[in-house]
Amino acid sequence: MRDMKLVAWMSMDCHTLPAHQQTPHVSISISDLSVSLRSLQKAKAMNGVCWILLVPMAVMLHTCHARSDLYPVILVPGSGGNQLEAQLTKQYKPSSLLCKRWHHDWFRLWFDPTVLIRPLTKCFAQRMTLYYDPLLDDYHNAPGVQTRVPYFGSTQGLSYLDPHLKLITTYMAPLVESLEEHGYIDGYNLFGAPYDFRYGLAAEGHPSQVGTQYLKDLKRLIENASESNDGKPVIIVSHSLGGLFVLHLLNRNPATWRTKFIKHFIALSTPWGGTVQEMLTFASGYTLGVPLVDPLLVRGEQRSSESNLWLLPSPNLFGPKPLVITQNHTYIASEMPEFLVDIGFEEGVYPYKTRILPLIEKLVVPEVPITCMIGTGIETPETLFYGRDGFDKQPEIVYGDGDGTVNMASLLAMESEWANITKELLKVTKIPHVSHASILQDDVALKEIMQEISDINSLVLTSIS
């Protein structure tokens, strides 16, 4: 009987609660509610009765305090910006005894702190590696490795790469907290759209099963977020690689769909035309700043990533500028196939020429309001110099302007490619001395992002009043 009463209580909306239970009498802030609910979600050791009673109360308080005058927001992370989980099947053949797992449960694949331990770095790389099948013309996981992306639809999987190591794996948490302080609530009008960032998209006529399925899931999430918020269109906030996925989602759907479901697209640190940093990744490996990791141990895995091919410098954007200089050759962006052969990655040439080059040939205008926010004034690799030791050694680097990862020419590609767009549809905000990653955590950057979202939401208040 008690359970029946609890279910009935949970089904009531804020307006049907008895007067003494209505939320205006509860003195608690939105941010406190967000923290309280997250704490309750983690309290699995609680007494059963308390758990049953407190969780619905917290959910009800969240719902009653949610602001109905906000456009829903969907966060799309960048490469490496959300958690990945893996499960090993009988087909998995460990490269060493250290790589063998004695159970078949799902485990955290990214971010996994064991990558810092040299012998286990090889295990990590083996499990993360993708393989291109020329017969299927598509990518797949390593044999015996199944992967999944946890918490799709929630911000939980992209706030921290490992919630047990918050100090060193913070990603979108500061942005999520800023949104919560302004009245956004995870699962109500705030959503996350994590994905398997190893995979990418392919040009028309080529299959890309994982990436295409993600676009379908993202489209469904956008529609559901709008429908659950009285039909309001959605604000999409992307970071880095996520912006390229969003751009293709918009361009692969008709204008009527975009008009109905998309209010604004805020693109943070998007590498519209790729990066020189990516050539370093392919040539010599790149540890993403993670200490103690030998870049050569992860180079093969990084080369296998479909999305990394997507992020190589665009020939149209970088033109004849020398990007990599060796004792025998100077490579420009249009010579990428030769570059891939010379670094020992000949198997990457065919998918690059057939799947990637047509994909990056032109930045198509999505015809929705776009705000591009970028960091500037940070030394960013512009030209790589390799000596007699070849590509197995890290190069000497000449730096230029950018956000530390993406070159300024790529960050501002939309200004040259979309020069004829009216100012009402394209806005660029430059934030000095903010890096590619810190744009999600820096106080000044967060203030700019939240101001932009507040300005967009002010249109709701104007239309209601």
User: How many Cβ atoms from other residues are within 10 Å of residue 137's Cβ?
Assistant: 16
Q: Can you tell me which residue has the tokens 């590619």?
A: 436
What are the C-alpha distances in Å from 370 to residues 72, 253, 263, 367? 16, 16, 9, 9
Contact 398, 342 (CB under 8 A): no
**Distance separating alpha carbons of residues 384 and 325, to the nearest angstrom:** 6
Q: Can you tell me which residue has the tokens 């996994």?
A: 112
**Distance separating alpha carbons of residues 151 and 328, to the nearest angstrom:** 49
Would you call 436 a catalytic residue per the annotation? yes
Would you call 162 a catalytic residue per the annotation? no
Contact 435, 375 (CB under 8 A): yes
Contact 394, 284 (CB under 8 A): yes
Which position among 403, 410, 435, 442 bears the catalytic label?
403
Would you call 103 a catalytic residue per the annotation? no
Which position among 62, 239, 248, 436 bears the catalytic label?
436
Nearest to 78 by CA among 254, 242, 276, 243: 242
- Phi-psi region at 372: left, alpha or beta (left = phi > 0; alpha = psi -120 to 50): beta
**Burial of 286 per CB tally in 10 Å (0-12, 13-18, 19+):** buried
Catalytic residue positions?
A: 240, 403, 436
